[in-house]
Amino acid sequence: MTICEFYRSQLVLIFNELEPGWSELETYDFGYQWTRQVNSYLETLRIVQLGDTHPFVMYTITLPEDFKQTNIFDMAYQYKSQYELSLLLHHSKLQLSMSKNCSELDESMAGFLFRSRAELFDIIDFSVYG
């Protein structure tokens, strides 16, 4: 079992026990990817393996275009996190992502998922209600 397969098995267990509604994308070429639609946003979780490097895990929230009218860019720029934060702007959507190399994780996959989601929602809440 590879390290990627090990992390995948952890996530499958989490999704089955605690997080229903996630769907695995069978054709993802760089590891594993799951998505889940929640209200007006899309959650994506990936374990990415590129060549012989350590895999990294990435959690992304895709938000509707309305969020471009908030101060979310400033909030994301100022936010301090143990994870790598990225913000992608598309024509009709906005993506916020947290990622970390699996060799540097000091928590379980569930810990990463819950903490990265909470941090992204902090940014979203501060930009909308702050």
Question: What number of CA atoms fall less than 13 Å from residue 18's CA on the CB side?
Answer: 10
**CA nearest 7: which of 129, 88, 80, 103?**
103
Residue 23, pLDDT score: 95
Write the CATH number for 10.
3.30.1460.10
Stated pTM of the model: 0.92
Give the pLDDT band (50/70/90) at residue 126.
Answer: confident
User: What are the pLDDT digits (tens) for 62-107?
Assistant: 998 888 888 888 889 899 999 999 999 988 899 999 999 999 999 9
Structure-token pair, residue 37: 């639609």
Q: How many domains does the chain have?
A: 1
> Are the beta carbons of 11 and 34 closer than 8 angstroms?
yes
Give me the domain span that covers residue 116. 3-126
Q: Is the pLDDT of residue 129 over 80?
A: no
Residue 130, pLDDT score: 59
- Quote helix, strand, coil % in the chain, to nearest 5: 40, 35, 30
What CA–CA distance (Å, rounded) separates 6 from 119?
25
Percent of the chain whose pLDDT exceeds 70: 98
User: What are the pLDDT digits (tens) for 38-50?
Assistant: 988 999 999 999 8
